[in-house]
Chains A and B, each alone.
Chain A
Amino acid sequence: KAGVTQTPRYLIKTRGQQVTLSCSPISGHRSVSWYQQTPGQGLQFLFEYFSETQRNKGNFPGRFSGRQFSNSRSEMNVSTLELGDSALYLCASSLAPRGITDTQYFGPGTRLTVL
Chain B
Amino acid sequence: TQLLEQSPQFLSIQEGENLTVYCNSSSVFSSLQWYRQEPGEGPVLLVTVVTGGEVKKLKRLTFQFGDARKDSSLHITAAQPGDTGLYLCAGVNNNDMRFGAGTRLTVKP
Contacts and interface: CB of A to CB of B under 8 A. Distances in A.
Contacts of A25: none
A4 B45 contact: no
Interface size class of B (residues with CB under 8 A): 20 to 34
A106 B42 contact: yes
Contacts of A98: 95-97
A103 interface: yes
Contact of B88 (A42, A45, A97): A42
Contacts of A90: 42-43
A98 B99 CA distance: 13
A92 B44 CA distance: 10
Interface residues of A, number: 22
Report which residue of A4, A43, A99, A101 has the largest number of chain B beta carbons within 10 angstroms of its beta carbon: A43
Contacts of B2: 42
Nearest to B93: A99
Interface in B81-109: 88, 90, 92-102
Given A4-B42, A42-B99, A92-B42, A101 B88 contact: no
Contact of A106 (B31, B40, B43): B43
Interface of B: 2, 30-31, 35, 40-45, 48, 50, 88, 90, 92-102
Interface of A: 4, 35, 41-45, 56, 90, 92, 97-101, 103-109
